[in-house]
Amino acid sequence: MITNLNTGVKNVRNVSRYNIGIGALKELSKSISYVKKIEHSNAIFLIDDYFENNNEILNHLDIRDDDQVYFIQTKDEPSTDYINQLYDLLLKNSLKDPAVIIGMGGGLTMDVAKAISNLITNGGKSEDYQGWDLLKKPGIYKVGVPTISGTGSEATRTCVLTNKKTGLKLGMNSDFTVFDQLILDPELTKTVPKNQYFYTGMDAYIHCIESLNGSYRNPIGDSYSQQTINLCREIFMSNDMMSEENRSKLMVASYLGGCAIATSYVGVIHPFSAGLSVVLNIHHCVANCITMRAMSEFYPKEYAEFWEMVERQNIEIPKNICQNLTDDQYTKLYESTIIHDKPLTNALGVDFQNILTKDKVIELFKEM
């Protein structure tokens, strides 16, 4: 194993402001009012469509007549085509230099908000900026309001999109993608379905076990990762993972896990998860949990701990989803996994392709 590799991440940017605690959503209007006064009058709200008819929540947003509101469908993970279509719709509706964009929802909705913010100032197509530091200008002021905890999208310097033409799942990885402000209100996670709460919470845990077991390391990232894992253990080894106290802890763990992965890399799990998302259209967080069925070889201690938490919380993890696929599907799963060279180098070294041969990768998928 190669050790102490340089992540290449320097001058790390974190979120500038955050408001955390029960009732924090009620402070959103006050929090962004100064931005609207300094810049322009209007805002764009991109909101998970789950909240479309929830007036109790929507009334806290203080949406004005000159603001634009779009409800984001979350059935499918965001694609470059979807982002381009949404951006074109904003232009068609006479978008005029908005002061601020608010992304309210899970990691998917927050990633959409970050991507749209980037396009408003940089122009072009979303696929033009998939990669590292390709953006030339900061996006407009953006606020993240997570309504589920675990992805860390609220903290990271990327927004992950699937390019269906190339079959690649990559992010706009740039300091310009980081949110300027967060509203972290644990009340918003109260109604999340139990299984989904677990799947998404595990994204924070999995980010950090991959980081700590990898070769690209730094002391700050390690500290974020260790604290995130400690919080996840407290939450998911408890008798009530969705208590008010644990929902607050998981919101913190999600943020810290996002900070951790912003300074390092994931490992074996996320590339396989990406393959499941690209080829079988499985959402990222449940795809991570499915991938854990085949990870005993790479993360033996964490594998055992993960399944102990699954059993304690009585969670259903889908299985046998990669049985009896076509040869073409298995080939696409392999190609969509092996393309993620930085995470796989982080986990297995520069010769990772000698370890993850096509036959080996397909064998692992069949365990899922």
pLDDT single digits (tens) 220-252: 899 999 999 999 999 999 999 999 999 999 999
CA distances from 183 to 34, 39, 61, 235 (A): 16, 21, 11, 21
Q: Per-domain residue ranges for the chain?
A: 17-189, 194-366
Asked if 33 and 103 count as a contact pair (C-beta separation under 8 A), the reply is: no
H or E, element range at 225: helix 219-236
- The CA distances from residue 114 to 79, 82, 93, 103, in Å, are 13, 13, 19, 8
C-beta separation of 154 from 110 below 8 A: yes
pLDDT 10s digits, 319-348: 999 999 999 999 999 999 999 998 999 999
| CA distances to 142, 147, 286, 359 from 251, in Å | 19, 9, 18, 39
User: Positive or negative, the Cα torsion across 260, 263, 267, 271?
Assistant: positive
Non-local (6+) Cβ contacts of 179 within 8 A are: 15, 103, 110, 114, 142, 143, 144, 154, 155
Confidence (pLDDT) at 139: 93
Under the banding of pLDDT at 50, 70 and 90, the label for residue 1 is very low
**DSSP conformation class of 177:** G
Amino acid at 346: N
Mapping DSSP to helix (H, G, I), strand (E, B) and coil, where does residue 161 land?
strand
Structure tokens at 61: 């947003």
**Per-residue pLDDT tens digits for 298-317:** 999 999 999 999 999 999 99
- The CATH number assigned to the domain with range 17-189 reads 3.40.50.1970
The tens digit of pLDDT for each residue in 105-149 reads: 999 999 999 999 999 999 999 999 999 899 999 999 999 999 999
Residue 14 has pLDDT above 80, yes or no: yes
List, for residues 64-93, the tens digit of each pLDDT value: 888 899 999 988 889 999 999 999 998 888
Q: Is 166's pLDDT higher than 90?
A: no
Question: Does the pTM exceed 0.85?
Answer: yes
What integer pLDDT is reported at residue 65 of this predicted model?
A: 85
Same fold, 17-189 and 194-366: no
At the fourth CATH level, the homologous superfamily of domain 194-366 is Dehydroquinate synthase-like - alpha domain (1.20.1090.10)
Instruction: Give pLDDT tens digits for 178-216.
Output: 999 999 999 999 999 999 999 999 999 999 999 999 998
Handedness of CA 336, 338, 341, 347 (dihedral sign): positive
DSSP per-residue letters across 54-110:
-HHHHGGG---TTSEEEEEP-SS--BHHHHHHHHHHHHHTT----SEEEEEESHHHH
Q: Is the pLDDT of residue 57 over 80?
A: yes
> Cα 238 vs. chain centroid, distance in angstroms?
25
Q: Which residues of 33-56 are buried (b: 16+ CB within 10 A; e: fewer)?
A: eebbeeeeebbbbbbbebbeeeee
Mean local confidence (pLDDT), 138-166: 93
The three-class DSSP label of residue 297 is coil
Phi, psi at residue 204, to the nearest 5°? Answer: -65, -45
Within 8 A by CB and 6+ apart from 129, the residues are 118, 122, 135, 172, 174
- Residues 6 or more apart in contact with residue 196 via CB below 8 angstroms: 148, 285, 286
Distance CA 134, CA 173 (A): 8
- The proportion of the chain whose per-residue pLDDT surpasses 70, expressed as a percent, equals 95
User: Which pair of tokens denotes residue 242?
Assistant: 């969705």
Q: Tokens 């299985």 correspond to what residue?
A: 319
